[in-house]
Structure 1
Amino acid sequence: MFVVSNRLITYSRPELIRKFCMKAVKSKVKFSSNAKKSYGQPTFETHPHLLNCDEVTPLITKGEYQERRRKLAEKVVCYAKKNRGNKNHLIVIPAASRQYMSDKIPYVFRQNTEFLYITGCQEPDCCIVITTGASADDHCATLFTRDRDDHAELWDGPRTHPEDAPAFFGVDQSLPISELEGFMQSYKKTFRDSSLWYDFMTPVQDNVHKMIFELMNATGNKCWENPKPLLHELRLYKSTAEIALMQKSCDITSQAFIEAMACSRPGISENQIFGKIDYECRMRGAEYLAYPPVVAGANRSTIIHYINNNQILNHNETVLVDAGCEYHGYSSDVTRTWPINGKFTQQQREIYEVVYCVQEELIKYCNNMPSLDELFESMCCLLGKRLQEIGLIGVQPSNNYLMKAAYQLCPHHVSHYLGMDIHDTPTVRRNIKLEPGMIITVEPGIYISERSKLPKEYHGIGVRIEDDILITVNGPVVLSRRCPKSIDEIEKIVSEGQAQP
């Protein structure tokens, strides 16, 4: 039973939602046989160099997005059965809103990755609603797109309209976003025992958040769950298409690093290296950098999140660069450290070799499918032992001593999950065992500040080496393997670059 405009109508679940949607669309949309279809994002017809026929976003098909929605509905149903939850579920995931740096001047738009993951829709101010009963096979996906606005489309470009969205995105039906409130009210009246799945903790669209908050207060129904942990469980394991996208993202970043190394020379600024990496990534197809990069020379490399990038790099200094690009929604995250004049000093070389050897051992350790926390513990022990070998910390047999000493010089975790976001799936704990399909970073470092009690000749040296690792049944695959990291490779690239006129 479903209430529309104060009339009581009886339908089966999928049928009742479709009836509501068709009525709403017909009341809002004027069809014209001569009108051209417009979309708010690239399609195969408009961008054949980016997409194949059945792809919603590059390499990811309509069918894969449909399967993601089905799996999410399945997880919701399974969770409810285990926790004696309600039999009817309303899953609401909004798109991000466009943000403005000043009046009418927008920032570059980046979609809410939870919404993007299950729809492929790249437009702002939309919303996906998935309804399901006791069986996930009964789920129904309704995509709410922005209302028609000829004036706005004249300024900002076309939008995807409700009559076109089902065929393109593979959803069951689509409505204008102005119908979302009515849809939610009708569903809640019909299925009074339904659970709402919505992230109240980190709202991404103000209008939707306010409407849902008011609806919950009006109905007195306080039963709700956050769908984000279930979404992150899905996002943790990468599909074949996702792995290909992340491999391409890593390849682009790796080549950008090579070009940045080759243009390095005393007197260059940190900002110029930033600009070089940004330029080279975009020239190879990346939309933008995945995060503000760290380009830290000399003692600034001991500041973990240094992003001012405004100093000059001098002879005998190293530069630590932590950067990555976003390629069609998927990110890379790579760090390299190199000498600005093409030759490591003795102390720089010693520290670099310690970090390099530790990272190689940690990557091999991934064969054992450890947790990220176990990787971190191994890093501390390995760093401590290596630092003992070169005489920088005292010789004591205790592992506890080694770990504490190492943590003083590397005060960050050695790994995080990677995917659509740099720190991907943050609700997934770091103490679970790695499994095939996951992608992680491995990034040991040593940072010796000028306040350190170590010998002064080591002060101001900061080294971090970071690679992106795909976990497979046959062992770890280094996606960023094309980015040079051995001392000989790095010194050769920088030196040959300086020899060029």
Structure 2
Amino acid sequence: MFNVLTRVVTASQLAGLRKFCIKTAESRVKSSYTNAKIGQPTFETHSHLLSEGEITPLITRNEYQLRRSNLVQSLLTSAAKNGQPRKNHLIVIPAASKQYMSDKIPYVFRQNTDFLYLVGCQEPDCCLVITISDTGVHDSILFTRDKDEHAELWDGPRTHPEDAAAFFSVDQSLPMKELEKFLHSFKKSHKDSILWYDFMTPIHQNLHNIIVGFMAEFGNKKWENPKSLLHHLRLYKSPAEIALLQKACDITAQAFIETMSCSKPGIGENQLFAKVDYECRMRGADFLAYPPVVAGGNRATIIHYINNNQLVHENEMVLMDAGCEYHGYASDVTRTWPVNGKFTAEQRQIYEVVYCVHQELIELCGKFPSLDTLFESMCFLLGKRLQENGLLGIQPSNAYLMKAAYQLCPHHVSHYLGMDIHDTPSVSRSTKIEPGMVITIEPGIYVNAKSKLLPKEYRGLGIRIEDDVLITVNGPVVLSRKCPKHIDEIEKIVSGGSL
């Protein structure tokens, strides 16, 4: 018989006990991978990039676990809305594979964004599988590359299956060679199950072939695409994601300032390309987020000009569309400036029209319109401002002004921004924007040599202003606000002055 000693535990003592338990648990997790070889930066190897508890910079294990839980909940909610009875589900999200520019020479590796969002794993040839029982219980299984001393001698360490579960905080980790066997085992045990996999845009060909064979063998056509569910989750940014996007924009802004300041007549577009790339990387960016547009003179009227191999002459402008990727999050900024530091009268007039419309569209974001509504507003406002400047003549029809503006600006005014430049593309642009979303605002005017809409002295002018905007309950926040865009600021920087 035992004597039981009972005493009251105070709230502070209970809080202390909880902290002790959490710290002990975290310590056990940490000790299980501290001495292991992990195939990406960790707090132990890159303390200048990561804090303790983070899998990737600013993104913690808890956040990655929450993302997977949110995906499961979103899937179950979607199934319930569609009147589906409770079933077992199998979600398969592959990592990207290495791509080669020539024999044994790889391109810079970039992870499949959806896989990175859910796991934080930056290695190729891996796969995340999430199983969901008919009771709603789910498990995350990460398949990683097995040990290969020869390959690791050439390419560096990889995260072995026995170490991956603890580091990435998943329920189980297995070698990739076990994936096909695992899928068959799950199907035999759960015959009435639904596979969630993106058959439309295969990311990893070898894994895709396995999935196709797996489906053919069982003759089961019950599958769904998880992309729209994932993109809806990715559309709303967490505080950590916003901080990463803000940093990407700050880096890009300073790189633009440095690039503007070195501009001069006769400079090569390739030199400006190199400068903005260098300045971004020197400030911590991984690389440029996309091939930049560096268009001098009339080449600025070519929307996706990326040759960047001409010289920029006296009295010409440079249109630069560039952004960096910072630990998985992208910026996307466009500025246009005179290479000699002084706008001509025609350049100034068109620039001021674009600048005015740009500011009006940012203000309009506070009313939470859709991106398509913003585009319609851009067309009307551009036409109206050009008319007010006497450049389109007096026309009684707003429809005419919008049609004319669309001919002068044939691209959309906005897209979602996040881990990808054109982020969450499965989300319709007719969706009303909401707090937590990040979008671009990018009106422009392009008067090519064949245009008859504006007087001939304006032909060859191409101007765009683009910023990255966070939507909040208190109104829009311009993340790229540190990148100068007012005429006076631009002329001062390019002419050699400082702000």
TM-score, normalized by the shorter chain, greater than 0.5 = yes
Question: Aligned partner of 1:113: which letter?
Answer: T
Q: Does 1:259 align with 2:220?
A: no
In structure 1, the partner of 2:72 is 73
Q: Distance in 2 between matches of 1:385 and 1:206?
A: 50
- Written as runs of structure 1 = structure 2, the 5 A alignment for 1:106-121 is 106-121=106-121
In structure 2, the partner of 1:474 is 474
- Written as runs of structure 1 = structure 2, the 5 A alignment for 1:188-207 is 188-207=187-206
Question: Cα distance, 1:36 vs. partner?
Answer: 4.5
Q: Distance in 2 between matches of 1:456 and 1:298?
A: 15
Are the aligned partners of 1:229 and 1:427 in contact in 2 as well (CA < 8 Å)?
Answer: yes
Are the aligned partners of 1:410 and 1:446 in contact in 2 as well (CA < 8 Å)?
Answer: yes
Question: Aligned partner of 1:71: which letter?
Answer: N
Q: After TM superposition, which residue ranges in structure 1, 4 or more long, deviate above 4 angstroms?
A: 33-36
Are the aligned partners of 1:237 and 1:437 in contact in 2 as well (CA < 8 Å)?
Answer: yes
Q: Distance in 1 between matches of 2:219 and 2:209?
A: 15
Q: Distance in 2 between matches of 1:135 and 1:283?
A: 51
Question: Cα distance, 1:134 vs. partner?
Answer: 3.5
Q: Distance in 1 between matches of 2:208 and 2:33?
A: 38
Q: Does 1:130 align with 2:148?
A: no
In structure 2, the partner of 1:427 is 426
Q: Distance in 2 between matches of 1:110 and 1:169?
A: 19
Q: Distance in 1 between matches of 2:378 and 2:44?
A: 50
Query: What do the CA deviations read for 1:127-180 (whole angstroms, capped 9, x no partner)?
Result: 0000112454x1100000011111000000001011111111110010000000
Question: Cα distance, 1:79 vs. partner?
Answer: 1.4
In structure 2, the partner of 1:150 is 149
- Written as runs of structure 1 = structure 2, the 5 A alignment for 1:60-459 is 60-85=59-84, 87-136=87-136, 138-453=137-452, 454-459=454-459
Q: Distance in 2 between matches of 1:397 and 1:439?
A: 36
Question: Cα distance, 1:485 vs. partner?
Answer: 0.1
Question: Aligned partner of 1:117: which letter?
Answer: Y
In structure 1, the partner of 2:53 is 54
Q: Describe the SS at the equivalent of 2:152.
A: helix
User: Structure 1 residues 215 and 281 mapped into 2: Cα distance closer, same or farther (>3 Å)?
Assistant: same
TM-score, reference length from structure 2: 0.92
Are the aligned partners of 2:97 and 2:204 in contact in 1 as well (CA < 8 Å)?
Answer: yes
Q: Distance in 1 between matches of 2:103 and 2:359?
A: 50
Question: Cα distance, 1:103 vs. partner?
Answer: 0.7
Are the aligned partners of 2:95 and 2:127 in contact in 1 as well (CA < 8 Å)?
Answer: yes
In structure 2, the partner of 1:4 is none
Q: Distance in 2 between matches of 1:81 and 1:477?
A: 36
Question: Cα distance, 1:394 vs. partner?
Answer: 2.4
Q: Distance in 2 between matches of 1:36 and 1:135?
A: 38
Q: Distance in 1 between matches of 2:43 and 2:384?
A: 55
Q: Distance in 1 between matches of 2:491 and 2:238?
A: 37
Q: Distance in 1 between matches of 2:113 and 2:179?
A: 21
Question: Aligned partner of 1:81: which letter?
Answer: A
User: Structure 1 residues 367 and 351 mapped into 2: Cα distance closer, same or farther (>3 Å)?
Assistant: same
Query: What do the CA deviations read for 1:283-306 (whole angstroms, capped 9, x no partner)?
Result: 000000000000001100000000
Query: What do the CA deviations read for 1:293-338 (whole angstroms, capped 9, x no partner)?
Result: 0000110000000000000000000000000000000000000000
Q: Describe the SS at the equivalent of 2:128.
A: strand
Q: Distance in 2 between matches of 1:149 and 1:233?
A: 38
In structure 2, the partner of 1:29 is none
Q: Distance in 1 between matches of 2:44 and 2:396?
A: 66
Are the aligned partners of 1:100 and 1:106 in contact in 2 as well (CA < 8 Å)?
Answer: yes
Are the aligned partners of 1:236 and 1:438 in contact in 2 as well (CA < 8 Å)?
Answer: yes
Q: Describe the SS at the equivalent of 1:140.
A: strand
Q: Distance in 2 between matches of 1:455 and 1:403?
A: 18
Are the aligned partners of 2:38 and 2:158 in contact in 1 as well (CA < 8 Å)?
Answer: yes
Are the aligned partners of 2:34 and 2:44 in contact in 1 as well (CA < 8 Å)?
Answer: no
TM-score, reference length from structure 1: 0.91
Moved more, 77-86 or 161-170: 77-86
Are the aligned partners of 1:74 and 1:135 in contact in 2 as well (CA < 8 Å)?
Answer: no
Q: Distance in 1 between matches of 2:184 and 2:81?
A: 28
Q: Describe the SS at the equivalent of 2:242.
A: helix
Query: What do the CA deviations read for 1:219-263 (whole angstroms, capped 9, x no partner)?
Result: 011100000000000000000000000000000000000000000
Q: Describe the SS at the equivalent of 2:335.
A: strand
Question: Cα distance, 1:206 vs. partner?
Answer: 1.1
Question: Aligned partner of 2:443: which letter?
Answer: P
Question: Aligned partner of 1:125: which letter?
Answer: D
Q: Distance in 2 between matches of 1:426 and 1:291?
A: 16
Q: Describe the SS at the equivalent of 1:229.
A: helix
Matched positions, count = 465
Q: Distance in 1 between matches of 2:305 and 2:329?
A: 24
Q: For structure 2, which runs of at least 5 residues remain unmatched after alignment?
A: 1-31
Moved more, 36-45 or 112-121: 36-45
User: Structure 1 residues 248 and 175 mapped into 2: Cα distance closer, same or farther (>3 Å)?
Assistant: same
Are the aligned partners of 1:264 and 1:494 in contact in 2 as well (CA < 8 Å)?
Answer: yes
User: Structure 1 residues 152 and 252 mapped into 2: Cα distance closer, same or farther (>3 Å)?
Assistant: same
Question: Aligned partner of 1:423: which letter?
Answer: H
Question: Aligned partner of 2:317: which letter?
Answer: T
Question: Aligned partner of 1:156: which letter?
Answer: D
Q: Describe the SS at the equivalent of 2:309.
A: coil
Are the aligned partners of 2:33 and 2:163 in contact in 1 as well (CA < 8 Å)?
Answer: no
Q: For structure 1, which runs of at least 5 residues remain unmatched after alignment?
A: 1-32
Q: Distance in 2 between matches of 1:481 and 1:99?
A: 36
Are the aligned partners of 1:77 and 1:135 in contact in 2 as well (CA < 8 Å)?
Answer: no
